[in-house]
A and B are shown apart, each in its own frame.
Chain A
Amino acid sequence: MPGKTLYDKIWDAHLVDEAEDGTSLIYIDRHLVHEVTSPQAFEGLRMAGRTVRAPEKTIAVPDHNVPTTWDREDGIDNEESRIQVEALNRNARDFGLMHYYEMNDIRQGIVHIVGPEQGWTLPGMTVVCGDSHTATHGAFGALAHGIGTSEVEHVLATQTLIQKKSKNMKVEITGQLPPGVTAKDITLTVIGRTGTAGGTGYVIEYCGEAIRGLSMEGRMTVCNMAIEGGARAGLIAPDETTFAYVKGRPHAPKGAQWEAALAWWKTLYSDDDAEWDKVVTIDAAEIAPVVTWGTSPEDVLPITGVVPDPADFQGGKVDAARRSLDYMGLTPGTRLQDVEIDAVFIGSCTNGRIEDLRAAAEVVRGKKIKDGLQTAIVVPGSGLVRLQAEEEGLADIFREAGFEWRLAGCSMCLGMNPDQLGPQVRCASTSNRNFEGRQGRGSRTHLMSPAMAAAAAVTGRLTDVREMM
Chain B
Amino acid sequence: MDKFTTLTGIAAPMPLINVDTDMIIPKQFLKTIKRSGLGVNLFDEMRYDADGAEIADFVLNKPAYRDAEILIAGDNFGCGSSREHAPWALLDFGIRCVIAPSFADIFFNNCFKNGILPIALPQELVDALMEDAEKGANARMTVDLENQVIIRPNGETVAFEVDPFRKHCLINGLDDIGLSLEKAAKIDAFEAQATQSRPWV
Q: B-contacting residues of A (Cβ < 8 Å)?
A: 13, 16-17, 19, 21, 23, 25, 27, 29, 36-37, 39-40, 43, 48, 50, 53, 57, 64-65, 78, 80-81, 83-84, 87, 122, 124-125, 130-132, 134, 145-151, 153-154, 157-160, 162, 164, 196-197, 200-201, 227, 230-232, 253, 257-258, 260-261, 264, 296, 298, 315-317, 319-320, 323, 414-416, 423, 433, 435-438, 441-442
Report whether B74 and A232 are in contact in the complex, using a CB–CB cutoff of 8 Å: no
Report whether A232 and B105 are in contact in the complex, using a CB–CB cutoff of 8 Å: yes
Q: Which residues of B contact A80 (CB under 8 A)?
A: 31-32
- A390 CA / B132 CA spacing, docked (Å): 61
Report whether A441 and B186 are in contact in the complex, using a CB–CB cutoff of 8 Å: no
Report whether B180 and A197 are in contact in the complex, using a CB–CB cutoff of 8 Å: no
The smallest C-beta distance from B47 to any residue of chain A, in angstroms, reads 12
- A415 CA / B200 CA spacing, docked (Å): 37
The smallest C-beta distance from B38 to any residue of chain A, in angstroms, reads 11
- A298 CA / B187 CA spacing, docked (Å): 40
Does B163 reach chain A (CB closer than 8 Å)?
yes
Q: Which of B19-27, B62-70, B152-160 touches A?
A: B19-27
Q: Which residues of A contact B74 (CB under 8 A)?
A: 316, 320
Q: Which residues of A contact B187 (CB under 8 A)?
A: 16, 25, 27, 53, 158-160
Report whether B82 and A148 are in contact in the complex, using a CB–CB cutoff of 8 Å: yes
Report whether A149 and B84 are in contact in the complex, using a CB–CB cutoff of 8 Å: yes
Report whether A150 and B110 are in contact in the complex, using a CB–CB cutoff of 8 Å: yes
Report whether A158 and B177 are in contact in the complex, using a CB–CB cutoff of 8 Å: yes
Q: Is the interface of B mostly helix, strand, loop or mixed?
A: loop
Report whether A148 and B15 are in contact in the complex, using a CB–CB cutoff of 8 Å: no
Report whether A316 and B113 are in contact in the complex, using a CB–CB cutoff of 8 Å: no
Q: Which residues of B contact A48 (CB under 8 A)?
A: 177
Q: Which of B5-13, B90-98, B142-150, B190-198 touches A?
A: B190-198
- A19 CA / B114 CA spacing, docked (Å): 22
- A29 CA / B180 CA spacing, docked (Å): 17
Does B201 reach chain A (CB closer than 8 Å)?
yes
Known: A16-B190, A317-B17. A148 touches B76 (CB 8 A): no
- A227 CA / B82 CA spacing, docked (Å): 10
Q: Which residues of A contact B16 (CB under 8 A)?
A: 316, 319-320, 323
| Smallest Cβ-Cβ distance to B103: which chain A residue | A200
Q: Which residues of B contact A261 (CB under 8 A)?
A: 198, 200
Beyond A150-B84, A159-B187, A316-B17, 18 extra complex contacts between A and B, CB < 8 Å: A17-B186, A25-B187, A130-B84, A131-B82, A146-B81, A148-B106, A148-B113, A153-B177, A162-B176, A200-B103, A230-B76, A258-B200, A316-B74, A319-B15, A320-B18, A416-B28, A438-B27, A441-B26
- A319 CA / B81 CA spacing, docked (Å): 23
- A29 CA / B200 CA spacing, docked (Å): 10
Report whether A154 and B200 are in contact in the complex, using a CB–CB cutoff of 8 Å: no
Does B129 reach chain A (CB closer than 8 Å)?
no
Does B50 reach chain A (CB closer than 8 Å)?
yes
Does B128 reach chain A (CB closer than 8 Å)?
no
Contacts A/B (CB < 8 Å), 18 sampled: A27-B191, A27-B194, A36-B30, A37-B82, A40-B84, A84-B31, A150-B84, A151-B109, A153-B177, A158-B187, A196-B76, A200-B76, A230-B104, A316-B15, A317-B17, A319-B17, A433-B22, A441-B45
- A65 CA / B31 CA spacing, docked (Å): 8
Instruction: Tell me which of B31, B184, B201 has the highest count of chain A C-beta atoms within 10 A of its own C-beta.
Output: B31
Known: A83-B33, A435-B80, A437-B45. A23 touches B165 (CB 8 A): yes
- A131 CA / B106 CA spacing, docked (Å): 10
| Smallest Cβ-Cβ distance to A199: which chain B residue | B105
Instruction: Tell me which of B27, B114, B201 has the highest count of chain A C-beta atoms within 10 A of its own C-beta.
Output: B27
Q: Which residues of B contact A81 (CB under 8 A)?
A: 31
Known: A158-B181, A316-B15, A416-B30. A151 touches B50 (CB 8 A): no
The B101-145 residues at the A interface (CB cut-off 8 A) are: 102-106, 109-110, 113-114
Report whether A260 and B177 are in contact in the complex, using a CB–CB cutoff of 8 Å: no
Does B79 reach chain A (CB closer than 8 Å)?
yes
Shortest 10 CB-CB contacts between residues of A and residues of B? A253-B200, A150-B113, A80-B31, A39-B33, A148-B110, A146-B82, A316-B17, A148-B84, A149-B84, A197-B76
Report whether A296 and B18 are in contact in the complex, using a CB–CB cutoff of 8 Å: yes
Q: Which of B17, B31, B45, B181 contacts A416 (CB 8 A)?
A: B31
Known: A27-B191, A162-B176. A438 touches B82 (CB 8 A): no
- A261 CA / B199 CA spacing, docked (Å): 9
Report whether A148 and B177 are in contact in the complex, using a CB–CB cutoff of 8 Å: no
| Smallest Cβ-Cβ distance to A134: which chain B residue | B82
- A461 CA / B201 CA spacing, docked (Å): 47
- A147 CA / B191 CA spacing, docked (Å): 22
